[in-house]
Amino acid sequence: MLSVTDLGSLDYLAALEFQENVVAAKQRELLPDVVVFVQHPHVFTIGRGGKLENVIAPKDVPVHRVGRGGDVTYHGPGQLIVYPIIDLRSKLRRDVHRYVRNLEASAIRTLKEFGLEAMHRPPYTGIWIEDKKIAAIGVAVRRCITLHGLALNVNTDLSYFERIIPCGLSWAKVTCMAKELGARQDIELVKERFLRNFAEVFGYSAVEKIENGGWKMEDGDSRSSIFNPRPEAN
């Protein structure tokens, strides 16, 4: 069983707290595998080994160092951000590299359905169309449970990438689906197709969508999620 929830637009740190709460519940075997969809307000994040000098001119955009792999990247409106929180012991026998390849394959299949030929580009992670990166991947694993994940540029304002050296690769360009296809894309349709491909690649036979409660935030406040419910009024 794969459960899916959509947090809508949510501050990066609130979404990170949400992930950490789900991971903690997964480690106690209280939840099935979960995929979290979200969009963030403008933010730059730097992975564990990332270099601060790759953030050139953040201006008014917040910068956070986080516990995922990879260097610096941008998140913002128009991106499809996917945070799979799954148990590698049950799905991939603790093989993190295979997990990343499957995550890439899910995005590549999705892009192909929209007429875009994307590919891996070893030794670099992420998804590429020639020398243009269209999706970034940065993951972490805690006691065999995954967090962080993938950011696919759908209708992304690419000018924000000019404020950083994306993924620390000075030669790399960045693109999005809207630019490659010449028109804005329906991000809900992209999400639907990505979910189907993810379930097929990872071998889930059933998908349960959690809406209007469950793991979804209330008022965008992680403290009022199912893991930390609000105190009842007296």
DSSP state at residue 230:
P
Catalytic pick from 34, 154, 167, 177? Answer: 167
pLDDT at 210: 83
In contact, 26 and 85? CB cutoff 8 Å: yes
Q: Could you read off the pLDDT of 37-74 as tens digits, one per residue? A: 999 999 999 999 889 999 999 999 999 999 898 899 99
Domain regions of the chain by residue span: 2-224
Angstrom CA distances, 208 to 33, 34, 80, 218, 223, stand at 10, 9, 19, 20, 24
pLDDT confidence bin for 232, thresholds 50/70/90: very low
Looking at residues 157-172, what average pLDDT do you find? 93
pLDDT at 221: 37
Q: Could you read off the pLDDT of 175-205 as tens digits, one per residue? A: 999 999 999 999 999 999 999 999 999 999 8
Per the annotation, the verdict on 176 as an active-site residue is no
Strand boundaries in the chain, DSSP class E: 2-9, 33-39, 43-46, 63-65, 72-75, 79-85, 119-121, 124-129, 132-142, 145-153, 173-174, 207-210
- Ranking 69-78, 99-108, 205-214 by mean pLDDT, the lowest is 205-214
Between 117 and 168, the more confident residue is: 117
pLDDT at 209: 87
d(CA 150, CA 232): 36
pLDDT at 49: 87
Could you tell me which CATH number the domain at 2-224 has?
3.30.930.10
Average per-residue pLDDT in the chain? 88
Task: Answer whether residue 220 shows pLDDT above 70.
Answer: no
Q: Could you read off the pLDDT of 6-26 as tens digits, one per residue? A: 999 999 999 999 999 999 999
Task: Answer whether residue 214 shows pLDDT above 90.
Answer: no
